[in-house]
Structures are given as C-alpha cells and as structure tokens.
Amino acid sequence: MENTLFWIGGMGISDYVRTSKGSLISFQSLTDMSISHVSKLLETLLGGGAKYIVVQGLPPVGCLPIAISLCPLHKLDRMGCSVPVNAAIMFHNQILQKKLQKLQKQYPHCSIIYADYWNAFLTILTNLKKFGFDEPLKACCGAGGGNLNFNMETICGSPGTSTCTDPSKHISWDGIHLTEAMNKQLTDLLLNQGFCQPSFSDLIKSKSGI
C-alpha cells in the first residue's frame, strides 16, 4: 500500500446533472453525500497504509452538452454553460479541498494532492485555439445539429446519429464524455503544468526521496 499511487476520480458528475433536471434531493444534499463517500474511501486507504493519493475535483459539468440541454436559456452564462450546475460543482470542490486539508493534517507523513480538474478544464475552454480545439460545446457524435449536436433521446450510437470528421477539434465526444484529445490536454495540465495542489512533481519528489 505505501508504495502505491492512488488516483481517485471525480465522484458525482452524472448525479449533479440529474439533480439539475429535477430531483427529490437538493444540490446541497448531493454534495454532502458525495463528499462523505470520498471521505470514507480516503480514510480507508489512509488507515490501510496508503501514502500517496491524488483526489480529482469535478470539472465544470455545466459546460457539457447534457447539462446545457437541460438548462433554461435564462440560466446559461456568457459561455453557454449551466449556471446552477456549475455553482453546485464549485461548492463541491470547495468542500472537497477543505476535507483534504483536514486529512493532510491528520496524516502529515502522507502526500494528499488535489487535482484541480475545474480550472484545468476552464483553461482549455477559454483558450480553445491554443489547445487545438474549434468546438467548445458541440458533441462530435450525436444528433440534432445546432450548437450542441445532442439529443437525450438519440445519444451517440443510436440510429440517426453521426460522427464528426475530426474528433480532435471537439472537447465533447458524445455530449456526456470527453474526447481523447481533451483528456490528453487535461492530463498534461494536471501532471505537468501545475494544476495539482501541491504539484504532481512534488509528489514524485516525495516518493523518490529527493
């Protein structure tokens, strides 16, 4: 356990989208449940001897076609993203970071890193050309055309859908998942460009005893 790197991905992404559509639970309740699950997992790992853990925050889910398609026009921001969903995600990430800081104090000999998926994603979204993208919101694979090319009733792979000619120019693959090109850029930002707190290079140095 002590020589293993654990990378915990974002939890609750699809739940935040579903809650925005109208659910019996609130964003607040969802955040409480999500952070509770992450906390229990972390405490189990740390209690079992894990020393190197990266915990991924959530991206601006409100900028995915699936969330945008469910959002009333008057609740979209200037980029075309869902304001309610992104506000909930920001709150989730803030609570998560506070929890990680608390755990780091409890386990000072362990390296607990927060992967800032939110800011890495927005850095790309607001600098499309720099990262080689043309389509910030439009799904590569889907149906319906328009700004999103997304239809909840006709998702990628269903009869009537089509795929774009160059997925590398799109951030979104199918309105729900990201393209390989987007994941590649995000990985570079997280691992090599300082979007982890502390930086991922610090974790490597700690592991190597440098």
Q: What is the pLDDT of residue 20?
A: 65
Helical H runs in 27-82? 27-47, 65-69
The confidence score (pLDDT) of residue 126 equals 97
What is the band of 204 on the pLDDT scale with cuts at 50, 70, 90?
A: confident
Find the domain containing 162 and state its range: 5-208
Among all chains, which residue has been given the structure tokens 């009333």? 72
Report residue 210's pLDDT band, with 50, 70 and 90 as the boundaries. Answer: very low
pLDDT grade, residue 120 (50/70/90)? very high
Residue 70's pLDDT band, with cuts at 50, 70 and 90, is very high
- Which CB contacts under 8 angstroms, 24+ apart, belong to 138-141? 138/65, 138/170, 138/172, 139/65, 139/170, 139/172, 139/173, 139/174, 139/175, 140/164, 140/167, 140/170, 140/172, 140/173, 140/174, 140/179, 141/167, 141/173, 141/174
Task: With beta carbons less than 8 A apart as the criterion, state whether 141 and 176 touch.
Answer: no
**What average pLDDT does this structure show over 145-151?**
93
User: Residue 116 pLDDT more than 70?
Assistant: yes
Residue 201 is predicted with a pLDDT of: 84
CA 2 to chain centroid, in Å, comes to: 27
Percent of the chain whose predicted confidence (pLDDT) is above 70: 95
Could you tell me the two tokens for 184? 């590649």
- Band the pLDDT of 19: cuts 50, 70, 90: confident
Q: What is the pLDDT of residue 30?
A: 87
Indicate the burial class of 53 (C-beta count within 10 angstroms; 0-12, 13-18, 19 or more): buried
Residue 137, pLDDT score: 97
Confidence at residue 25, expressed as pLDDT on a 0 to 100 scale: 65
- Within its chain, how far is the Cα of 183 from the centroid? 10
24 pLDDT above the threshold of 60:
no
Q: What is the CATH number of the domain that holds 112?
A: 3.40.50.1110
Residue 167 pLDDT exceeds 70:
yes
pLDDT value for 119:
98
Averaged confidence pLDDT in the chain: 92
Asked if the model's pLDDT at residue 124 lies above 90, the reply is yes
Domain count within the chain: 1
- Compute CA distances 198 → 9, 84, 104, 210, whole Å: 17, 29, 11, 15
